[in-house]
């Protein structure tokens, strides 16, 4: 019996050794082949393909990804901390029970997260997992990147002597967030939302859960950030800015055009005021629309929302948000500016 | 690989961020200078997190195996979100920017981006500016020079010798410009500011050469109108320089 087992063990070790040997030889041969081909063809091909537009694409692509990393990490740290350390009941106790009231409260609470839009998506996801009504979490998702102090200060620096622009941005963004929250509370369907069920009841809590949640959320959202960065870089290189000059004549077209531009350019909400200020040919209302739409709907954000909440949600939610944001900035612009 | 894939990915991204922010100044090609501390902290956190999670995975080897089987069953019901222990598959896209930064950091934006963008003036009205700092020549950014040249009712540039650094772009009919991109947050929001250079002894340097131009303001057009743009400098000296560590101007 004993002998048989040692023989069997020995055979297994030999078999394992042979397998490792085969893998190493095959893998090594493949690697050498790839390396040879790449080193011969690579440089010629790379030089041909590395034209100025391609180089600019890579730079913009890496730039969007690099500048998203700290904010995404901040967002996922907050979201993992909520998941691992905050008890279920806290948020349900803090927020009013009726969604109609919880939505505006959550919208105003967006002031506390000083980041750009990359940070708010994972946080909203973890709020929902902690039992916050989706309508309230979505109001927070939309308002946080638009009305936090960092963004408002940047806006006042970009538009010196025009405090109405800052006020207009605050009012229009908050209105959009609250209206979207109410719309979701009234018409939203739970099956559109596909939240990961990773942290269901009985999941581990504490430091290990924090680490695992952080790792998962960051990698997941990071992958979608890269997708969004690629889309933003492509539009940045493909769409010439001179297109803008064609539309400055008509007030209505210019509002719609800047609202579309905000979606494709994916400028971070802390910087978009400066970009809006530089679009000097456009009416103040059109520039307000650019700043209201940008933090709520853009390609990078749609990619992140698809990753966190599912595609069915991201498509519906983003398109309705875009319409509501445009309407609310037109109304506020007509009233204030 | 399957077990440690996501830890490896975190370390890779963290290392890429640290390489451009802590061990070099390459980050200035992509984002503005103020972001450096956040980049360093994020890089360090990612590397530490990746290593810590690798250690946790190693010490709780057997326990995890049970969980993995369990997860695999769950995933069939949960269509939104299937991925195994190797982590979300979309996350592997992160290797693209991470490897690019580690192996071939993309160059700073240059004449190509400056040329395809209709250079925009900063939106501001004509008014008076604070006095120029002392110094002869006085060092100015292209942005400062342009806004004073176009909008300063006090004409503070008159009679002063200025010195500015930027790269060369060519216009039609032999004109050339000293150009610099302005970045607020990251390279995606770059806008152009440019100054026409006249009277350089050796003619126009090749496109994308970095030069320092010393000269005096050449007034043209009416203040605050399109006629005043782009501003002109009469160069007394054009010197070739190395690309500065920060290739962009802060707005």
Closest residue of chain A to B98, computed from CA coordinates: A62
What percent of chain A has pLDDT above 90?
20
pLDDT band at A117 (very low <50, low <70, confident <90, very high): confident
* Chain B nearest CA to A55, separation (Å): 7
pLDDT band at A293 (very low <50, low <70, confident <90, very high): very high
pLDDT of residue A64: 85
pLDDT of B78 higher than 80: no
pLDDT band at A145 (very low <50, low <70, confident <90, very high): confident
pLDDT band at A203 (very low <50, low <70, confident <90, very high): low
Contact state of A64 with B186 under an 8 Å Cβ cutoff: yes
Contact state of B94 with A60 under an 8 Å Cβ cutoff: no
A125 C-beta neighbours (distance < 10 Å), count: 28
pLDDT band at A318 (very low <50, low <70, confident <90, very high): very high
* Chain B nearest CA to A288, separation (Å): 14
B183-217 pLDDT, tens digit each: 877 888 788 888 999 988 888 899 999 999 999 99
**Higher per-residue pLDDT: B214 or A128:** B214
Would you say B69 and A187 are in contact if contact means Cβ atoms under 8 Å apart? no
pLDDT of A45 higher than 70: no
Would you say B112 and A53 are in contact if contact means Cβ atoms under 8 Å apart? yes
Task: Name the least confident of A31-45, A175-189, B226-240.
Answer: A31-45
Task: Name the least confident of A97-101, A141-145, A200-204, B51-55.
Answer: A200-204
Contact state of A69 with B110 under an 8 Å Cβ cutoff: no
DSSP B31: B
SS3 label, residue A14: helix
Name the strand (E) or helix (H) holding B234.
strand B232-240
**Highest mean pLDDT pick, A78-87, A158-167, B68-77:** A158-167
**Spatial separation of the C-alpha atoms in residues A65 and A67, rounded to whole Å:** 6
Mean of all residue pLDDT scores within chain A = 83
CA nearest neighbour of A329 among A111, A173, A183:
A173
Q: Mutate one of B106, B122, B124 to test the A interface: name it (highest A CB count within 10 A).
A: B106
**Higher per-residue pLDDT: A116 or A284:** A284
**Spatial separation of the C-alpha atoms in residues A324 and A331, rounded to whole Å:** 11
Contact state of B17 with A275 under an 8 Å Cβ cutoff: no
**Higher per-residue pLDDT: B9 or B86:** B9
DSSP codes joined into one string, A298-312: -HHHHHHHHHHH-HH
CA nearest neighbour of B113 among A216, A60, A5, A253:
A60
Say whether the peptide bond before residue A207 is cis (omega within 30 degrees of 0).
no
pLDDT of residue A315: 92
Contact state of B20 with A66 under an 8 Å Cβ cutoff: yes
**Higher per-residue pLDDT: B11 or A90:** B11
Query: Which of B7, B9, B187 is closest, CB to CB, to A59?
Result: B187
pLDDT of residue B65: 45
Would you say B122 and B152 are in contact if contact means Cβ atoms under 8 Å apart? no
pLDDT of residue B43: 95
ipTM higher than the 0.90 cut: no
Contact state of A73 with B96 under an 8 Å Cβ cutoff: no
Looking up tokens 């650094």, which residue turns up? B165
Say whether the peptide bond before residue B137 is cis (omega within 30 degrees of 0).
yes
pLDDT of residue B69: 40
* Domains assigned to chain B: 5-106 (no CATH), 112-250 (2.40.50.140)
Contact state of A220 with B117 under an 8 Å Cβ cutoff: no
pLDDT of residue B80: 40
Q: Mutate one of A116, A193, A217, A219 to test the B interface: name it (highest B CB count within 10 A).
A: A219
* Chain B nearest CA to A161, separation (Å): 10
* Chain B nearest CA to A74, separation (Å): 9
DSSP B141: -
Partners of residue B94 in chain A, C-beta under 8 Å: 219, 222-223, 226
Partners of residue A195 in chain B, C-beta under 8 Å: 80
pLDDT of residue A213: 82
pLDDT of residue B217: 92
Query: Which of A63, A226, A265 is closest, CB to CB, to B94?
Result: A226
* Chain A nearest CA to B137, separation (Å): 29
**Spatial separation of the C-alpha atoms in residues B165 and B163, rounded to whole Å:** 7
Using CA atoms, how far residue B61 sits from A208, A210, B3, B47, B65, in Å, is: 14, 18, 9, 21, 7
A248-279 pLDDT, tens digit each: 667 788 899 889 888 887 777 776 787 787 67
Contact state of A280 with B112 under an 8 Å Cβ cutoff: no
pLDDT band at B114 (very low <50, low <70, confident <90, very high): confident
pLDDT of residue B81: 46
Closest residue of chain B to A192, computed from CA coordinates: B80
CA nearest neighbour of A179 among A220, A149, A215, A138:
A138
Mean pLDDT of B171-190: 85
pLDDT of residue A197: 56
Mean pLDDT of A301-324: 91
Mean pLDDT of B41-54: 93
**Higher per-residue pLDDT: B186 or A309:** A309
A173-185 pLDDT, tens digit each: 999 999 999 999 9
Query: Which of A194, A215, A226 is closest, CB to CB, to B81?
Result: A194
Partners of residue A266 in chain B, C-beta under 8 Å: 188
**Looking at the DSSP assignment, which residues form a beta bridge with residue B235?**
B215
pLDDT band at A323 (very low <50, low <70, confident <90, very high): very high
Closest residue of chain B to A262, computed from CA coordinates: B189
Closest residue of chain B to A197, computed from CA coordinates: B78
Note the pTM of the prediction, 2 decimals. 0.77
C-alpha angle A165-A168-A172 in degrees, rounded to nearest 5: 145
* Chain B nearest CA to A77, separation (Å): 10
Query: Which of A63, A211, A226 is closest, CB to CB, to B187?
Result: A63
- Does the CA dihedral A292-A294-A299-A303 come out positive or negative? negative
């Amino acid at each position: 019996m004993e002998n048989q087992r040692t023989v069997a063990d020995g055979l297994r070790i030999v078999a394992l050794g042979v397998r490792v040997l085969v893998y190493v030889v095959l893998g090594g041969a493949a690697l050498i082949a790839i390396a040879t081909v790449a080193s011969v063809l690579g440089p010629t091909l790379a030089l041909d393909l590395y034209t100025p537009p391609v180089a600019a694409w890579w730079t913009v692509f890496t730039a969007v990804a690099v500048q998203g990393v700290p904010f995404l990490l901040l967002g996922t740290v907050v979201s993992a901390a909520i998941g691992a350390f905050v008890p279920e009941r806290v948020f349900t106790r803090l927020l009013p029970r009726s969604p109609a009231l919880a939505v505006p409260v959550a919208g105003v609470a967006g002031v506390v997260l000083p980041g750009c839009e990359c940070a708010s998506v994972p946080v909203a996801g973890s709020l929902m997992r902690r039992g916050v009504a989706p309508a309230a979490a979505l109001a927070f998702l939309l308002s946080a990147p638009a009305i936090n102090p960092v963004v408002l200060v940047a806006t006042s620096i970009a538009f010196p002597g025009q405090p109405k622009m800052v006020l207009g941005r605050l009012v229009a963004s908050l209105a959009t967030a609250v209206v979207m929250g109410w719309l979701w509370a009234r018409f939203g369907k739970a099956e559109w939302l596909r939240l990961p069920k990773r942290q269901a009841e009985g999941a581990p809590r504490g430091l290990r859960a924090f680490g695992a949640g952080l790792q998962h959320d960051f990698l997941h959202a990071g992958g979608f950030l890269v997708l969004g960065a690629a889309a933003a870089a492509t539009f940045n290189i493909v769409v010439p800015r001179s297109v803008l000059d064609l539309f400055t004549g008509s007030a209505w077209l210019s509002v719609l055009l800047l609202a579309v531009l905000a979606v494709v350019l994916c400028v971070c909400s802390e910087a978009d005021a400066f970009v809006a200020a530089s679009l000097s040919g456009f009416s103040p209302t059109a520039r307000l629309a650019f700043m209201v739409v940008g933090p709520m709907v853009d390609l990078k954000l749609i990619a992140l929302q698809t990753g966190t909440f599912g595609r069915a949600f991201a498509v519906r939610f983003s398109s309705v948000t875009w319409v509501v944001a445009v309407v609310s900035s037109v109304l506020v612009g007509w009233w204030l500016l | 690989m399957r077990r440690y894939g996501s830890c490896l990915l975190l370390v890779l991204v963290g290392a890429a961020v640290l390489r451009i922010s802590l061990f070099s100044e390459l980050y200035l090609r992509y984002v503005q200078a103020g972001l450096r501390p956040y980049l360093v902290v994020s890089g360090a956190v990612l590397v530490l997190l990746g290593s810590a999670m690798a250690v946790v995975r190693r010490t709780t080897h057997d326990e995890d195996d049970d969980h993995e089987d369990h997860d695999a069953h769950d995933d069939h019901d949960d269509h939104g979100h299937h991925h195994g222990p190797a982590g979300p598959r979309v996350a592997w896209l992160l290797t693209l920017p991470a490897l690019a930064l580690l192996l071939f950091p993309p160059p700073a934006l240059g004449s190509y981006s400056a040329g395809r963008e209709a250079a925009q003036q900063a939106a501001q009205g004509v008014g008076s500016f604070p006095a120029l700092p002392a110094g002869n020549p006085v060092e100015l950014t292209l942005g400062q020079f342009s806004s004073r040249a176009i909008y300063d009712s006090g004409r503070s540039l008159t009679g002063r010798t200025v010195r500015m650094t930027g790269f060369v772009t060519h216009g039609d009919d032999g004109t050339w410009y000293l150009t610099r991109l302005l970045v607020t947050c990251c390279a995606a929001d770059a806008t152009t500011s440019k100054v026409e250079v006249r009277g350089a002894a050796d003619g126009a340097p090749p496109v994308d050469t970095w030069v320092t131009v010393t000269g005096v303001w050449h007034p043209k057009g009416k203040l605050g109108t399109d006629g005043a743009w782009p501003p002109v400098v009469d160069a007394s000296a054009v010197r070739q320089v190395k690309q500065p560590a920060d290739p962009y101007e802060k707005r």
